[in-house]
């Protein structure tokens, strides 16, 4: 009887609980549907309003308007050369199309930006381009987000993208810096056809592995890698971010990636293989091929200067943390330990400084040189004009590169074209695409770690002049596949589907 009594008491309680849930769930569902419908109508109205702005901006002009999103277009890196060469290719192919560049470089004029592109990259546009100067670029700078940097920068890019869209509504939108979270804004709100050129995935399986295995890196602080709990939380954070990043990137009608390494990561994250293709970045190989006298040899015997010339090891890379300039300086110090009597060796670090953070990094590198007692042998050359860059490469024996998982490596290609013997990191684009055998012959060397770099530099310097010249010539023949001409052809073929006349 007690069990039966308990059953009768339990049944009304269960029924009451179900009725309570029903009374709560049904209104919540109705409210959710209404809010979803309201949001949908709001977005449709916003899109219609933005398209109306586009028509008013165009006036009676029926030509296509193409906009590139490149907040740091006045920087001196390889990504900027992609921008200017892409614009040049499209202008030459489509004379009736107008072009816009969204940039955050507010301290300079349009003419100064174009002049810097001419001096640094030897790229001159055949006709004018309109610059839209954005005010909120600080929202995409890493320094604005001490914690949750990826999430902060991505959210900031959406705000910056909205500012760009409000300033000008294009027909075709190209993200040429890797801000994937701007793509859905321009596609679904702006009604644009969208494309992206991906230099480096914002998040990758390599980053996840580094956090999971608790390896300290420039993007994985020691205080996080030293904690199992914090590392687990960061892995979860990266996984969630990777899903969001994949959804945003998959909005792109055309996806271009700069290397085999980047292709693998983007296919894994964005999952749109039919719309994705590799377009190697444009390297000004012809200019570098002509900057060295083929008969000039800088010597390889042990013991120092030949014909009164210093032997130079040169690095070409922006002063960003991932480029790992400290590894170059430390490896150079170890090389000097191996060659104590060789007074001819010099290390020249060439790169662009974009902002105060880059300048602080250069100051820290100078201090590292003093700490290692190599400051008299190391030279820093910042924001070097193109003509001077060619001269530096022409005089160098070794071209040094140390970034782990470099997405491509334009600086590596430039060094090879200029006739230096390249020593790059054994990973990423250099390993998969650039420093690979050509017609069965070596084109350069790969290394990993200070000791490996020092030993390999020592071995290169010990080569005979004939051995070095054989590697140089083979490398210079191999880099023609990265020329401006090849980039123009590949880029135009990939973007042709975006360039149909707009509907007004």
3-state secondary structure 219-271: CECHHHHCCHHHHHHHHHHHHHHHHHHHHHHCCCCEEEECCHHHHHHHHHHHC
pLDDT value at position 330? 97
306: β partners: 309
Determine contact, residues 418/457, Cβ cutoff 8 Å: no
DSSP β-ladder status, 345-351 and 378-382: parallel
φ/ψ of residue 62, rounded to 5: -95, 10
> In this model, does residue 197 exceed pLDDT 90?
yes
> In this model, does residue 395 exceed pLDDT 50?
yes
pLDDT value at position 225? 65
Give 405-441 as a 3 state SS string: CCCCCHHHHHHHHHCCEEEEECCHHHHHHHCCCECCE
> CA 10 to CA 5: how far, in whole Å?
9
Q: Structure tokens of 369?
A: 């040189």
> CA 374 to CA 313: how far, in whole Å?
14
Closest CA to 211 of 193, 184, 229, 192: 229
18 against 456, higher pLDDT:
456
> In this model, does residue 384 exceed pLDDT 60?
yes
The label of the residue with tokens 């409000």 reads 166
pLDDT value at position 356? 85
> In this model, does residue 204 exceed pLDDT 60?
yes
Determine contact, residues 435/424, Cβ cutoff 8 Å: yes
- The radius of gyration of the chain from alpha carbons, rounded to an integer in Å, stands at 27
206 against 359, higher pLDDT:
359
DSSP β-ladder status, 130-133 and 98-103: parallel
Residue pLDDT, tens place only, 145-180: 988 889 999 999 999 999 999 999 999 999 999 999
Half-sphere exposure of 406 (CA within 13 A, CB side): 28
382: β partners: 351
Expressed in percent and rounded to 5, the helix, strand and coil fractions of the chain are 55, 15, 30
pLDDT band at 226 (very low <50, low <70, confident <90, very high): low
The label of the residue with tokens 């977005």 reads 43
112 against 232, higher pLDDT:
112
pLDDT value at position 76? 77
> In this model, does residue 94 exceed pLDDT 60?
yes
Determine contact, residues 200/428, Cβ cutoff 8 Å: no
For residues 347-370, average pLDDT: 91
> CA 224 to CA 217: how far, in whole Å?
10
> In this model, does residue 378 exceed pLDDT 50?
yes
**Sequence-ordered alpha helix ranges (H) in 283-324:** 285-289
> CA 119 to CA 26: how far, in whole Å?
66
Least confidently predicted of 58-67, 399-408, 469-478? 58-67
> CA 61 to CA 428: how far, in whole Å?
45
Name the burial class of residue 171, with classes exposed (0-12), middle (13-18) and buried (19+) by CB atoms within 10 angstroms of its CB. Answer: buried
479-to-54, 126, 282, 396, 444 alpha-carbon distances in Å? 42, 26, 11, 18, 12
Contacts of 206 (CB under 8 A, 6+ apart): 265, 405
> CA 73 to CA 271: how far, in whole Å?
29
8 against 44, higher pLDDT:
44
Least confidently predicted of 254-263, 303-312, 358-367? 303-312
Residue pLDDT, tens place only, 294-339: 434 434 444 444 433 468 999 998 898 889 999 999 999 999 999 9
Determine contact, residues 159/134, Cβ cutoff 8 Å: no
Contacts of 36 (CB under 8 A, 6+ apart): none
Half-sphere exposure of 423 (CA within 13 A, CB side): 26
> CA 504 to CA 491: how far, in whole Å?
26
416-to-49, 237, 258, 391, 477 alpha-carbon distances in Å? 51, 40, 18, 14, 9
If DSSP codes are grouped into helix, strand and coil, which group holds residue 378? strand
Of the chain, the end-to-end C-alpha distance in Å amounts to 81
301-to-342, 466, 469 alpha-carbon distances in Å? 10, 12, 14
98: β partners: 65
For residues 128-156, average pLDDT: 93
pLDDT value at position 304? 41
Q: Is the dihedral of CA 148, 234, 273, 256 positive or negative?
A: positive
Residue pLDDT, tens place only, 396-433: 999 999 999 898 998 899 899 999 999 999 999 999 99
pTM of the model: 0.80
φ/ψ of residue 467, rounded to 5: -65, -45
Name the burial class of residue 390, with classes exposed (0-12), middle (13-18) and buried (19+) by CB atoms within 10 angstroms of its CB. Answer: buried
> In this model, does residue 228 exceed pLDDT 90?
no
pLDDT value at position 504? 57
173: β partners: 67, 194
């Amino acid at each position: 009887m007690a069990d039966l009594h308990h059953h009768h008491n339990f049944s009304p309680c269960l029924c009451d609980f179900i009725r309570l849930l029903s009374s709560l769930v049904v209104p919540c569902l109705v409210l959710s549907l209404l809010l979803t419908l309201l949001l949908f109508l709001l977005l449709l109205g916003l899109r219609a309003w933005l398209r109306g702005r586009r028509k008013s901006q165009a006036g009676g002009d029926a030509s296509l308007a193409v906009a590139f999103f490149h907040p740091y277009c006045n920087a001196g890196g390889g990504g900027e050369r992609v921008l200017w060469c892409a614009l040049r290719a499209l202008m030459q192919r489509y004379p009736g199309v107008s072009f816009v560049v969204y940039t955050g470089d507010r301290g300079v004029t349009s003419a100064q930006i174009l002049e810097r592109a001419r001096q640094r990259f030897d790229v001159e546009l055949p006709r004018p381009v309109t610059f839209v100067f954005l005010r909120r670029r600080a929202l995409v700078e890493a320094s604005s987000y001490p914690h949750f940097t990826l999430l902060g920068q991505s959210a900031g890019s959406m705000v910056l993208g909205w500012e760009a869209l409000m300033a000008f509504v294009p027909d075709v939108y190209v993200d040429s810096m890797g801000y994937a979270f701007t793509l859905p804004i321009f596609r679904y709100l702006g009604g644009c056809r969208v494309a992206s050129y991906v230099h480096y995935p914002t998040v990758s399986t390599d980053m996840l592995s580094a956090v999971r295995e608790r390896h300290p890196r420039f993007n994985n602080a020691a205080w996080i890698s030293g904690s199992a709990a914090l590392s687990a939380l960061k892995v979860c954070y990266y996984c969630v971010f990777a899903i969001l990043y994949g959804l945003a990137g998959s909005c792109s009608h055309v996806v271009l990636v700069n290397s085999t390494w980047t292709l693998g990561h983007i296919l894994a994250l964005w999952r749109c293989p039919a719309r994705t293709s590799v377009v190697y970045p444009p390297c000004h190989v012809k200019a570098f091929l002509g900057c060295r006298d083929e008969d000039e040899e800088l010597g390889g015997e042990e013991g120092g200067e030949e014909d009164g010339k210093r032997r130079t090891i040169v690095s070409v890379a922006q002063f960003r943390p991932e480029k790992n300039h400290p590894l170059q300086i430390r490896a150079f110090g170890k090389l000097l330990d191996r060659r104590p009597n060789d007074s001819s060796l010099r290390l020249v670090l060439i790169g662009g400084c974009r902002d105060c953070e880059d300048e602080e990094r250069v100051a820290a590198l100078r201090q590292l040189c003093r700490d290692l007692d190599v400051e008299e042998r190391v030279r820093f050359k910042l924001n070097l004009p193109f003509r001077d860059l060619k001269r530096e490469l022409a005089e160098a024996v070794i071209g040094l590169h140390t970034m782990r998982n470099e997405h491509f490596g334009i600086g590596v290609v430039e060094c090879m074209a200029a006739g230096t013997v390249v020593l790059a990191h054994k990973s990423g684009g250099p390993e998969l695409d650039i420093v690979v055998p050509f017609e069965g012959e070596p084109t350069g060397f790969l290394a990993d770690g200070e000791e490996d770099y020092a030993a390999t530099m020592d071995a290169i310097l010990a080569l005979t002049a004939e051995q070095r010249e054989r590697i140089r010539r083979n490398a210079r023949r191999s880099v023609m596949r990265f020329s401006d001409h090849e980039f123009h052809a590949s880029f135009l073929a990939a973007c042709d589907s975006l360039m149909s006349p707009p509907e007004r």
